Structure 1
Amino acid sequence: MLENRRFVIIGFFALIGFIYLFRLFYLQVLDESYSIESSSNSIKRVIEVPFRGQIYDRNGKLIVYNTPVYDLLVTPYKVKVDDTLRFCRVLGIEKREFDSLITAASAYSRVKPSLFLRQLSKEDFASIQDIMVDYSGFEFAKSSMRTYKGATLANTLGYVSEISKKQLEKQEEPYYRQSDYIGQTGIEKIYENELRGKRGTKFVMQNVSGVYKGAWKGGELDTMAVAGANLYSGIDIDIQQYADSLMMNKVGSVVAIEPKTGQIISMVSAPTYDPNFLATRHFSKNYTALYRNPYKPLFNRPVMASYRPGSTFKLIQALIGLQEGVITPNSGFTHANCPIGCHNHPGTPTVALGVTHSCNPYFYNVFRRIIYNNKISNTFKASAAGLDVWHDRISKFGIGQQLGIDLPSERKGNLPDKKYYDKIYGENRWKFSNIYSLSIGEGEILITPLKMANVAAIIANRGYYYTPHVIHSVGESRTVNPDFTVRHETGVAPHNFEPVIEGMVGAVEGGTARRSKVEGIEIAGKTGTSQNKRGMDHSIFIAFAPVDDPKIAIAVFVENAGAGGSAAAPIANLIIEKYLTRKITNKALEERIMKADFMKNVILPAPPKPVAKDTVKRRQGIPMAPLEKPIPSEINWFKRF
């Protein structure tokens, strides 16, 4: 018994000894990390930042790519600059900026290299690299700069800038380091993980002076950087730039969708700016100039601006009324006893003519029948149940909720229900006279241009839609987000769309949008005039074409431009013709729209407060340069775009 115990004890200690010996062998022979650490004076670990993925349009045209540039890094404890003024002249900076940058670098670390100047061009690098050898403590690192093919799609694409301290602290995996760039808005933000790629690591030998002596161990421990995945969008860059030109000197939005897929063809937020403006080392200065611009070019109107839909909402009212069975395609209404006025025409005998003439009394009666389920003998009491039915039906068109587009900050808008009015008037203390303005798209309902473009796509598809999206596939394998292939049904039967579409065709051929019809293309459209407390009403138009085989659905909003047929409809129909035929036949209309300036009608709000310095530091990591107040010439510069 004792003999057996002795062997167990000997075996246990032998096992422990073997484990220690194996661990020592692994650390000294197999594991290179400690060897690298012990050789830190002669071996340098270099992180290679990959190129971000590029972005293409639906026809394979490049929209966003990368331009090689150089960053200047500084290690504060090594810095020796005898003639600071000469050094500043070489780099084209002020002495106070030099002092601030050195202070910021020292605060980060005196012994680790950090960013001093970012994004020096190849020409700048070539002109100063020989001179910089006279200044110890500085070194160059290859980098890249986002470059945009044209002055378009700024808010949709978004921008990249230096990662903030808060973002560094919140990252789930230790990927980013101080001074790294990260997508902050738009597509650049939503697809950051796909675009950023995978970092590489190189180990290089250097002497005590920091002079490169070659790859360590022949580069066998190096890992290659992997470029980010390319993104393939549904954007037609030619149509996008054409839409931009039509929206010049206007405030508003254009959203065009391919109905059969949900792909965004064009998305304009006007006024816009050149995205290259925020892709330079002068980011802080340029961002502040955009932020202070009173026309808010940084505000992404297609997904963030909320408007009353006006008469375009009558299309949904008609569809819900037909589906609920409270009207038929041949239902007619007079103007008698209607509190809402209308245009100079008698009573309306059909749904189609109601849409064509945009008859307010007609849709007042349709809405009343929906709310009271055709029991309209007493409309002085609230019908909470009817409003809930109406609310549920409308919400299936994507109203009052986020559609799920691949862009940040999408607004829900507002779709009132019983709880909404109970909160305003008290429980069950409201009645039809408090809500009838909803019948013509006014009152408390608010929508975004994206949602109205989606409504046009729903009608084009006769009852369903796919989630609108900018990017349709990712990477060389063209991976598709499965969420964008889900068919969303509205619950309205396809046959109920026919009288509504008939009325939309009539509106373009001989109704409220007749002045901008396109010969040879059958367009179904609906104008809208959205009431506005500040200045002139907003001009709205939604449409799709061709009617029998829809390839484009569109919504156009022009702020303070008046009736829908005067501004929004011509813009939409010109874009439709350009997309379907690649040419424009009505040159006179095109010229008139391009020359039109509705920005003068916009009543500007009070200017925003200046961006706080700590906000700028978080975005770029350098002090904010002093700026003059906006002047008229600066405002005109933005109007050019």
Structure 2
Amino acid sequence: MNDQRPVAIVIFIFLVGVVLLTKLFLIQVVDDSFMKKAERNAIQRVVDHPYRGLVYDRNGKLLVYNNPIFDLMLVPKEFEVGDTTRFLDIFGITKEELIEAYTAARKYSPVKPSPLIKQISTTDFARIQDYLIDYPGLFIMTRSVRSYPLPIAAHALGYIGEINARQLESDSSNYYRQGDYVGLSGMERFYENQLRGQKGVKYKMVNVRGVDKGPFKDGEYDTASVAGTNITSTIDMELQRYGEMLLNGKKGSVVAIEPKTGEILAMISAPFYDPNDLTGADFSNTYRSLNSDESKPLFNRPIMATYPPGSIFKVVQSLIGLQEGILTPETTFACNKSLVACHNHPSPVNLFGAIRNSCNPYYHQAFRQIINQEKSSNTYKDTEIGLNAWREKVLKFGLGGRLGVDMPNEKGGDVPSSKYYDRFYGEGRWKYSTIYSLSIGQGEMLVTPLQMANLAAIFANKGYYYTPHLVKAINGDPNQIPEKYQIKNEVGVDSYHFDMIQDAMAQALYGTATRAIIKDIEIAGKTGTAQNPHGEDHSVFVAFAPKSDPKIAIAVYVENAGWGGRAAASTASLMIEKYIRKEITRPELEQYVLAGNFIY
């Protein structure tokens, strides 16, 4: 009896083994229901993209908000299509587009999601959502695109688009992935880190048909996205809107600044475009169309176009001469047209008269005294010494380099140095007669419209400026804006020198820009005509108002519009009145600007 126990145990173990092996064979080979059940539920990692921060104007009016869009995502390993024709018809794509997207997705990763159709509108999503259950490996990822309640300020605000390979490579934060959206221009790009927010991640259970079966482990491992920080811009929506109306159909720019803070009230580049056009699924086609347009609507003239400053630079010359003691208010020169051309006005003139009448020969002679101070017995060397010393003073006015506005791609213009002329003419082979055109803001000198508006702010502030900027507050806190926009920049000219300059600029309107005069608002301004070798000259005007307590400084360039006292001065005057009075009392001047017949 005892001898039979081991045999019984062996038989029992054998039978149990046979049963288990048989069951295992049935599960693995014959019956695939367990495999299907395992496949029926899978964990899917879905990135939760945050909403970008909103952008408001200086008065709390919404400039930029978010609209939801949907990306149809594809997991190649799970993707199955039965009737290809039906699939293409439902989702509105071609066979070639499907093959291209699938091939790219599989190349990227067979198991990770890639976009099949990007930026599906709410309407199209409603149409296709009921069909998703029929196609394993497809799911929807929700994103957002920018929308604009008014089609204004496109160049200042900028636009977002899909990140490119170069940007991905340079992303040291490892935040971005292929297919992410990023700010590409304007404030969207400059304040990308604040506006983008923080991504979240959700893990959910889905069956083999892509049906959402709920969060994995009740969302224990999920992280919520954090919306981007809201930004209050310095832009005045109504002033921006009005300025774009005035420049419609023209080429040029307007930059208006609050002098006491450096806050940009309006930044207009014409021709402009509707920022809503660079959103949604048609972004690429629209961008190509705008980029190939001969009128260059994507070109940001206020910070990228460079022109000679023309007669407006005479004010800078006056201030440098006064500060150095080379000029006084009583310094008088004859309007000697044999030196340089000039229009008819009383002669001789003192400094006040030179500014009021924009006398070219006066500044030809004044500039010679500034440059040639007999620091060397060699005329060529003396001019070199004088030019370099003069240039250092000019640079303090924010010219000859980028101001540092909170936008990418700002140009710095140019204030030529002796090295420039050495390269061009040869060392010791140029003198004052070579460079005298600088005396009236012509020749090799170039400035941007933003720099000219900043000059107007300097004239208004009597000798200082805050770096122009487009951000007023971040997350409602004005102290969070970059520190450099809160620093006062002195130009090195004593404030009392500006008293006579401001008086002369106020009187200049009665000589060269009578259209700019506004009853009960005293404007101090200066016209200019920027020479253009390719056609009609550009009309230029800078001003600030009210003269006694400046609230706005402005620079206007209207390309190919001739004399500054017409197009530019009229436009600036209307913008000043709109900002200060909130209404226009001179409809006839408004119609003159809108008509745009400035040459005749």
Same fold by TM-score greater than 0.5: yes
Q: Do residues 506 (structure 1) and 517 (structure 2) align?
A: no
Structure 1 CA distance for aligned equivalents of residues 327 and 254 of structure 2:
33
Report the CA distance between 1:376 and its aligned residue.
12
Distance 1:116 1:348, change over 3 A: farther
Supply the distance in 2 between the matched residues of 1:206 and 1:107 (Cα, whole angstroms).
24
> Which residue in 2 is equivalent to 1:7?
none
Q: What secondary structure is seen at the aligned counterpart in 1 of 2:511?
A: coil
Q: Hey, what does 1:242 align to over in structure 2?
A: 242
How far is the alpha carbon of 1:71 from its aligned partner? 1.2
Unaligned runs of 5+ in 1: 1-37, 602-641
In the alignment, is residue 134 of structure 1 matched against residue 142 of structure 2?
no
SS in 2 for 1:541: strand
Task: Look up the match of 1:553.
Answer: 553
- Whether the 8 Å contact between 1:319 and 1:497 is mirrored in structure 2 is yes
Deviation, structure 1 residue 270:
0.6
User: Shift of residue 469 of structure 1?
Assistant: 0.3
Residue type of the alignment partner of 2:501: V
User: Where does 1:481-492 land on structure 2 (aligned, <5 Å)?
Assistant: 481-492=482-493
How far apart, CA to CA, are the structure 2 residues paired with 1:123 and 1:167?
32
Which residue of structure 2 lines up, in the alignment, with residue 426 of structure 1?
A: 426
Separation in 2 of the partners of 1:185 and 1:533? 31
Per the alignment, residue 271 of structure 1 pairs with: 271
- The CA deviation at 1:380 is 7.4
Alpha carbons of structure 1 residues 206 and 338: separation in structure 2 relative to 1, 3 Å: same
- Counterpart of 2:67 in structure 1 is 67
Tell me which amino acid in the other structure corresponds to 2:440.
I
Q: Distance in 2 between matches of 1:402 and 1:596?
A: 32
Q: Which residue of 2 aligns with 1:397?
A: 397
SS, match of residue 96 in structure 1: helix
Task: Spell out structure 1 runs of 4+ moving beyond 4 A.
Answer: 38-41, 374-382
Question: What is the one-letter code of the residue matched to 2:133?
Answer: V
In 2, distance between residues paired with 1:370 and 1:576?
A: 35
Residue number in structure 2 paired with 1:226: 226
Q: 1:495 maps to what in 2?
A: 496
In the aligned structure 1, how far is the partner of 2:357 from the partner of 2:549?
A: 25
Supply the AA of the counterpart residue of 2:193: N
TM-score, normalised by the number of residues in structure 1: 0.84
Deviation per residue, 1:217-263 (Å, 9 max, x gap): 32233221110001111100110010001111111110000000000
SS for the counterpart of 1:254 is strand
Aligned to 1:331: 331
Q: How does 1:138-287 map to 2 (within 5 A)?
A: 138-287=138-287
Could you tell me which residue of structure 1 aligns to residue 7 of structure 2?
A: none
Cα distance in 2 for partners of 1:425, 1:579 equals 48
Higher relative contact order structure (alpha carbons within 8 Å, sequence separation ≥ 6): 1
Q: CA deviation at 1:90?
A: 2.7
For 1:357-368, what aligned pairs fall within 5 Å after superposition? 357-368=357-368
Superposition TM-score, scaled by structure 2 size? 0.90
The RMSD of aligned alpha carbons is 2.2
TM-superposed CA distance for 1:346, in Å, is 3.0
Please report how far the alpha carbon of residue 298 of structure 1 lies from its aligned counterpart in structure 2 after TM superposition. Answer: 0.9
* Residues 169, 381 of structure 1: alpha-carbon distance in 2 compared, 3 angstrom cutoff: closer
CA deviation after TM superposition for structure 1 residue 365, in Å = 1.4
Tell me, yes or no, if structure 1 residue 518 matches structure 2 residue 518: yes
1:211 & 1:381 partners in 2: Cα distance?
Answer: 83
- 1:396 and 1:85 map into 2 onto residues whose CA distance is 68
Rg larger in structure: 2
Q: How many residues of Structure 1 are paired with residues of Structure 2 in the alignment?
A: 562
* CA distance in structure 2 between the aligned counterparts of 1:267 and 1:83, rounded to whole angstroms: 54
Residue 182 of structure 1 deviates from its aligned partner by: 0.7
- Quick check: 285-294 or 110-119, which moved more? 110-119
Q: Classify 1:374/1:338 alpha carbon distance in 2 versus 1 (closer, same or farther; 3 Å).
A: farther
Correspondence list, 1:336-415, <5 A: 336=336, 338-373=338-373, 382-415=382-415
The Cα of 1:543 is off from its aligned counterpart by 0.4
Distance of aligned partners of 1:112 and 1:476 in 2 relative to their CA distance in 1, 3 Å threshold:
same
What is the aligned-residue identity percentage? 51
Partner Cα distance (1:288, 1:40) in 2: 45
Match of 1:624 in 2: none
Distance 1:133 1:581, change over 3 A: same
1: CA distance between counterparts of 2:48 and 2:581?
46
Matched with 1:619 is: none
Match in the other structure for 2:436: 436
**2-structure distance, mates of 1:294, 1:349:** 45
Which is further off, 303-312 or 372-381? Answer: 372-381
Is it true that 1:99 corresponds to 2:99 in the alignment? Answer: yes
CA contact (8 A) 2:303 2:450 kept: yes
| Structure 2: gaps (5+ residues) | 1-37
Residue pair 2:133, 2:210 contacting (<8 A) in 1 also: no
Q: SS in structure 2 opposite 1:297?
A: coil
The one-letter amino acid of 1:231's match is: I
* Residues 473 and 481 in structure 1, CA contact (< 8 A), matched pair in contact too: no
Could you say which residue in structure 2 is the equivalent of 1:466? 466
Work out whether residues 90 and 128 of structure 1, in 8 Å CA contact, stay in contact via their aligned partners in 2: yes
DSSP-derived class of the 1:129 partner: helix
User: How many angstroms does 1:78 deviate by?
Assistant: 2.7
SS at structure 1 position matched to 2:349: coil
What whole-Å deviation, never above 9, does each CA across 1:580-627 have from its counterpart, x for those lacking one?
A: 0000011011012112168x99xxxxxxxxxxxxxxxxxxxxxxxxxx
1:449 counterpart residue number: 449
Do 2:373 and 2:382's aligned partners in 1 also have CA atoms closer than 8 Å? no
